[in-house]
Amino acid sequence: MPLACPPALRRAPRAALRHCRPLLAALALCATPLAQAAPAWITVGERAYALLQQQAPALRSQASTAARLSDGARETVHLVQVDDGQLEALSQAVHESLRRCGGYRWHASRADGLLALQALRSAPTAPAVAAPSYAIDNADLVQPLLNQVQDSRILATIQTLSDFQNRYYTSNPGVQASDQLAALWSSLAAGRSNVSVRQVSHRGWPQKSVVLTLQGSSQAKQKVVLGAHLDSIVSGKVTDSTRAPGADDDASGVASLTEVIRVLLDSGYQPRRTIEFMAYAAEEVGLRGSQAIAQQYKRQRQQVVGVLQLDMTAFQGSAGDLYLFTDYTNAAQNTFLANLAAAYLPELTVGYDRCGYGCSDHASWTAAGFAASFPFEAAFADDNKAIHTANDTTATFGNQALHAAKFSRLALAYAVELGTDGPTLNGR
């Protein structure tokens, strides 16, 4: 049945309505019946749910749980049924009202959503495999690689990706961006028999995720995952002609990872553990690509010892250099990242913040039981205000990638230290 527009909103003064227009546009509460598009199930954090309830009392939580966060805090997460045709606009509403990307996780069914709540209730940050030692003892390998990072190459990759009209998960340019990135990563891997590149097809949308695998040696079954998201979005309906450059969000993260790949492969580095680089599809509409991959890895009992997410690396909006988000991440791995920065990048300052439920793809891995971390370009309140608009271009960060290069260097240290590390703490 249609969701009715609340009487209080019909009588509200224009000034008050202006403040809730993003959400009203997102849900089309006064006009759009759910029957016009396929129903979808999402889990949302308490602030996003309060926003929904404030404007749409008829939209009810079907179930909820108190999520225990790695930093000791708790947050109530709700399962809600919405109109799938409005989820892209919901992402924009959450971004505008809460200064947060996404803010929700998409689920294929009510049963899947209930399983997501159950995982949050039990132990959302408990790793599915034993923790690595987190020793920092490979300076002879790491230090020479850090000097090979070139910010000009990172900027060139950002520009290439942002030159697509958009990289939306259902658009033709979004599909082409995936194909071109796969070709780029394949060219970097040319001549390496232990490196492979594949595109991951997803059920329900055409854009594919891209995965590069650097095969390990003595501990090849254990994996280190570094990811970023490939898609881009702007407010409103997105078609092939809609301009959504997504230079910072998240061409910058993909470009930072691409530079890590280039440096590692050019050096001939051979890890003990397998290292996988992933550019996820459909992050902006409920973390769909990363969720599909993380859940598949969980079902297959893959031994993922750590996950690093790079989502927005180019805009330095705060005085500090790197900000580690402490919610829906792994506390021990966050400490490891801070220690890596202190050991290899002592000139950088590291801060801490929170970004809320479902704010990027690390949340998919955390929900699947793997240790995940998310270093960000600025404090949460100081993020790039141009994201999710046609103005998210390289101009917003001065047409340079010096800040993004810091994240490439941190990711290099992370990949090599974990990739070269010995057995996990219980000897696996």
Residues 6+ apart with CB under 8 A from 165: 171, 173, 240, 241, 242, 243, 244
Domain assignment present for 246: yes
Q: Tell me which DSSP letter residue 196 carries.
A: E
Among 122, 150, 180, the domain-final residue is 122
Residues linked to residue 303 through DSSP beta bridges, in sequence order: 222
Kindly list the averaged pLDDT for each block of 10 residues, start to end, along the chain of length 428: 33 35 38 51 84 73 82 82 69 65 81 86 60 95 98 99 98 99 98 97 97 97 98 92 98 99 98 99 94 96 97 98 96 98 98 92 94 97 94 98 99 98 50
- Alpha helix segments (H runs only) across 99-190: 110-122, 139-146, 151-162, 172-188
Residues 102 and 202 in one domain: no
Distance from C-alpha of 357 to C-alpha of 372, rounded to nearest angstrom? 14
Residues linked to residue 323 through DSSP beta bridges, in sequence order: 351, 376
Residues 146 and 113 in one domain: no
Residues 199 and 325 in one domain: yes
Annotated binding-site ranges for Zn(2+): 229, 249, 284, 311, 388
Distance from C-alpha of 48 to C-alpha of 401, rounded to nearest angstrom? 33
Residue 70 is part of which domain span? 13-122
The token duo for 62 is 């079907």
Residues 47 and 173 in one domain: no
Distance from C-alpha of 107 to C-alpha of 105, rounded to nearest angstrom? 7
For the chain, how are helix, strand and coil distributed in percent, rounded to 5? 40, 20, 40
Residues labelled as active-site residues: 229, 249, 283-284, 311, 388
pTM for the predicted model, two decimal places: 0.86
Residues 292 and 396 in one domain: yes
Residues 392 and 267 in one domain: yes
Closest alpha carbon to 365 in 189, 225, 182, 176? 225
Domain assignment present for 428: no
Residues 28 and 68 in one domain: yes
Residues 107 and 184 in one domain: no
CATH number of the domain where residue 399 is located: 3.40.630.10
Residues 6+ apart with CB under 8 A from 243: 165, 166, 234, 390
Residues linked to residue 210 through DSSP beta bridges, in sequence order: 199, 279
Residues 89 and 149 in one domain: no
DSSP of 249-305: IIIHHHHHHHHHHHHHHHHT---SEEEEEEEES-GGGTSHHHHHHHHHHHHTT-EEE
Q: Tell me which DSSP letter residue 139 carries.
A: H
Distance from C-alpha of 307 to C-alpha of 123, rounded to nearest angstrom? 17
Distance from C-alpha of 55 to C-alpha of 60, rounded to nearest angstrom? 12
Q: Do 260 and 415 form a contact (C-beta atoms < 8 A)? A: yes
Q: Do 410 and 375 form a contact (C-beta atoms < 8 A)? A: yes
- The whole-number pLDDT of residue 252 equals 99
Return the SS3 of 50: helix
CATH number of the domain where residue 67 is located: 3.30.70
b/e map of 339-352 (b: 16 or more CB within 10 Å)? bbbeebbeeeebbe
Residues 146 and 251 in one domain: yes
Residues 116 and 155 in one domain: no
Among 96, 122, 148, the domain-final residue is 122
Residues 6+ apart with CB under 8 A from 274: 213, 214, 215, 216, 220, 221, 222, 223, 224
Domain assignment present for 7: no
Element (H, E) at 222: strand 219-229
Q: Give the chain's domain count.
A: 2
Element (H, E) at 96: helix 87-98
